[in-house]
Structure 1
Amino acid sequence: SGDTIYPKEQRLLELIKTEKAAGRRVLVYCTHTKRRDVTQRLLSIFTSNGLSAEILKQSIASEKREVWIQEHTGSLDVLITNPKLVQTGLDLVQFPTIIFFEIEYSVYTLRQASRRSWRIGQNEP
């Protein structure tokens, strides 16, 4: 049912609320964003629980993603995206907490995506 929140989703929600209480934005990675897309479901769960969230979709051209993120960051608690969309070329230091809701199969993509929220000289992990 659409109203059911499954245990994995409940735990994700708890983690995000804890991070929000600490003043940290969260980046949630979902690997399956085509046939078994859960991003819209997560967005619905987050917003119905008082969190501000958006989905960075493939339809946003790669050269426009950084601007899109900058325009939306101020109001967001959570950014949901596929790790392949942000694996290179983007700094996402404004989202210091990264959660892989679905694991990425490519180790290269996993490693690249996991470093989007950290840069040399950054004080906060």
Structure 2
Amino acid sequence: MMRLFFAIAVFVGVLPSAFAGEADVVAVEAAQEGDGSWRFRVTVAHADEGWDHYADRWEVVAPDGRVLGTRVLLHPHENEQPFTRSLGGVVIPDDIDTVTVRAHDSVHGNGGAELTVTLPR
């Protein structure tokens, strides 16, 4: 009986951190800056649950899988959902016409909804 109680306690203790699910990219704006680099304005949705489970970054990824830019998110956004953050200075080679933006959370890693964007050149 004690083992069953312990198993339930462990399960209940772990389960809430999984409720937030994966971080989803829900909108992306891309604009080329004067120096030729790119600025991305990305909106992420995630049911942040505090420091133990929150969306902690998003990435701009080339078609071949190379990460071209990363925006680190320094704190949970429990009371701001969805939220939008920008990243400038992303260098994208001229032969790349599309990029994918993906979000990452501190429990699941990558895996939520991603958006592929055609760059307006």
Larger helix proportion, structure 1 or 2? 1
Larger strand proportion, structure 1 or 2? 2
Q: Tell me the TM-score normalized by structure 1.
A: 0.24
